[in-house]
Amino acid sequence: MDSNTMNSKRLVFVPVALCVILLDQLGKLHATRTLEAGQRSALVGDVLALAHLPAANGAFGIFRDFSPQAQLIGFALLSIVSIVVIVLFYRGLAPREHGNAAALGAILGGIASNAIDRLRYGSGIDFLHLGPIEAEAMPDFNLADVAIVLGVVALIVELLATEMAARASERPRN
């Protein structure tokens, strides 16, 4: 097997991770330079708004009751463990598992970009909002969050498709 075949999953994994980091950081930079903290501005009518919202807590309010220093340590440890797990899964992929490599790259990029925020700003930065700018029903988020969710969904879909194909191949044919 030549080195191009062996490294072909890297041709997807690394660029996807880097694109997620770049796009998310550029979005956050734009939001922090054009809006005051806590402010939102409509982008697409009442559908999508640009926001500048520091997000001290993680998903589901994780580390909510901890001091800022303890939150930073907790998020750093969580990010490191997550990145190690992603790299281990990536290393276990076959060379041509491009879809899974892309999904893992998206998750890695999202985690890394959110970790960069914590180190730079002491909190996450959400810069997107669904719905009218004054509506609080939908949570604010960033592209890193979207990449993580889409990456996890893609991995679940791939797992289910693989499992269904394996079960179908085991069924006796009539």
Q: Which residues touch 67 (CB under 8 Å, ≥6 apart)?
A: none
Beta strand extents in the chain (DSSP E only): 40-44, 48-55, 124-130, 140-141
List residues with catalytic annotation: 126, 145
What are φ and ψ of residue 50, in 5° steps? -85, 140
Q: Are 106 and 17 in contact (CB under 8 A)?
A: yes
d(CA 151, CA 112): 14
Q: Are 115 and 71 in contact (CB under 8 A)?
A: no
Angle between helices 10-34 and 98-121 (to 10 degrees): 30
104's tokens:
């893992």
